[in-house]
Amino acid sequence: MFNRRKFIKATALSAGLLAIDKTSIADAIPSPSNRNANLPIVISTWDFGIAANADAWKVLSNGGKALDAVEQGVWVPEADEKNQSVGYGGLPDRDGHVTLDACIMDELGNCGAVLALEHIKHPISVARKVMEKTPHVMLAGDGALQFALEQGFKKENLLRPASEKAWKEWLKTAKYEPVMNIENKLYEKAAPQKLPGNQYNHDTIGMLAIDSKGNISGACTTSGMAYKLHGRIGDSPIIGAGLYVDNEVGGATSTGVGEEVVRNVGSFLVVELMRQGYTPEAACKEAVMRIIKKKPETAKNIQVGFLAINKKGEYGAYAIQQGFSYAVCNAEKQDLLIKGKSYYPTAP
């Protein structure tokens, strides 16, 4: 039977919902008065972030979504055969397998990741498919490869000649010494696996973008530690460690020795600190200090760097060792490379 009271309540409720919807749509589309001059913006780790940002910017400057921007941005180092620390061309594990780790996260808190994925040039896109086509967050190893092939990705040999040569050289001593990512004199003296072209045994691309609607997304992708144990996973595909995004607050990503980042749930920590009012740089510094305080002796000889952006488009970074760089791109600044501050400021 028709119940007038129920009808009025339902009508009022849907009117209320409509009102809420309208408000949120109005909030999402920047009017001239609420437009933030910093936005859209994309930032990413290391020098190769400049080229990656340029492709992400093509999406953002055309009014595209932050999620598409970060995916397309990190494709650049993933596809770069000369880059021996991200995707195609990455250095293998100690058994000669190139195993890739990647994750992606959007403004709604959706996320997807692949761990130790082999034979696929763009793990970030497989991570996105995990997010969008499955009820899961992570797929690993053979299962991740099977899923990628089912989704139409092409199987390729990722072990490129330069990395195969470097691995065969390493096999002569096969010293298990996964030191990485210290761009200082100490490392130069100690590093047996210094790579050609001034590359070291490191470098993950972590990218954070805010689109013109103010929505934040992030991506993180790497071939991880060179000559690692087969099956070793770093921080890069772990949501909360290598990457975290909260659309109310901001986003963070990390690079360096993943084990220390995982132990401290680094990127989640950075975002939570920003929620408490820390600036992006101060939040990154505090996350670095947690690592240093817990293990001061270890920290002297490792690199970890965090990069963060807040909802306003303010950004910052902090690392244990000097030499961490990050790239920034918005309407005013293109091709900007910034030297991140660090706890150990100078080469010993």
Query: Known binder of ligand: residue 11?
Result: no
Residues ≥6 apart with Cβ < 8 Å to 176: 94, 227, 229
Of 53, 215, 221, 222, the residue at the interface with ligand SD4 (CB under 6 A) is 222
Each residue 165-194 as x (binds ligand SD4 by CB under 6 A) or -, in order, gives: ---------------xx-------------
Least Å distance, CB 232 to ligand SD4, is 8
- Alpha carbon distance 58, 71 (integer Å): 12
Q: Specify the residue for token string 């339902």.
A: 10
Q: Are 217 and 107 in contact (CB under 8 A)?
A: yes
**Only segment of 141-149, 196-204, 270-278, 292-300 that touches ligand SD4 (CB under 6 A):** 196-204
Longest CA–CA separation in the chain, Å: 85
Does residue 77 belong to the site contacting ligand SD4 (CB under 6 A)?
no
Strand intervals (E) in 261-330: 304-310, 315-321, 325-330
Least Å distance, CB 36 to ligand SD4, is 30
Residues ≥6 apart with Cβ < 8 Å to 57: 42, 69, 329, 334
Name the catalytic one among 23, 45, 134, 204: 204
Residues 200-219 that bind ligand SD4 (CB under 6 A): 202-204
Does residue 163 belong to the site contacting ligand SD4 (CB under 6 A)?
no
Of 92, 234, 313, 316, the residue at the interface with ligand SD4 (CB under 6 A) is 234
Least Å distance, CB 348 to ligand SD4, is 20
Does residue 260 belong to the site contacting ligand SD4 (CB under 6 A)?
no
Helix (H, G, I), strand (E, B) or coil at 60: helix
204 is catalytic: yes
**Only segment of 31-39, 188-196, 220-228, 311-319 that touches ligand SD4 (CB under 6 A):** 220-228
Q: Are 302 and 288 in contact (CB under 8 A)?
A: no
Which token pair is 6? 């129920």
**Only segment of 126-134, 185-193, 229-237, 287-295 that touches ligand SD4 (CB under 6 A):** 229-237
**Only segment of 102-110, 189-197, 250-258, 326-334 that touches ligand SD4 (CB under 6 A):** 250-258
Does residue 94 belong to the site contacting ligand SD4 (CB under 6 A)?
no
Which token pair is 210? 């805010």
Q: 341: part of which helix (H) or strand (E)?
A: strand 341-344
Angle formed by the axes of helices 123-133 and 141-150, to 10°? 80
Query: Known binder of ligand: residue 231?
Result: no
Q: Are 116 and 140 in contact (CB under 8 A)?
A: yes
Region of 224 please: left (phi>0), alpha (psi -120 to 50) or beta: left
Which residue ranges make up the site for ligand SD4 (CB under 6 A)?
A: 180-181, 202-204, 222, 224-225, 234-236, 255-258
Q: Which residues sit in the known binding site for substrate? A: 232-235, 255-258
Annotated catalytic residues are: 204
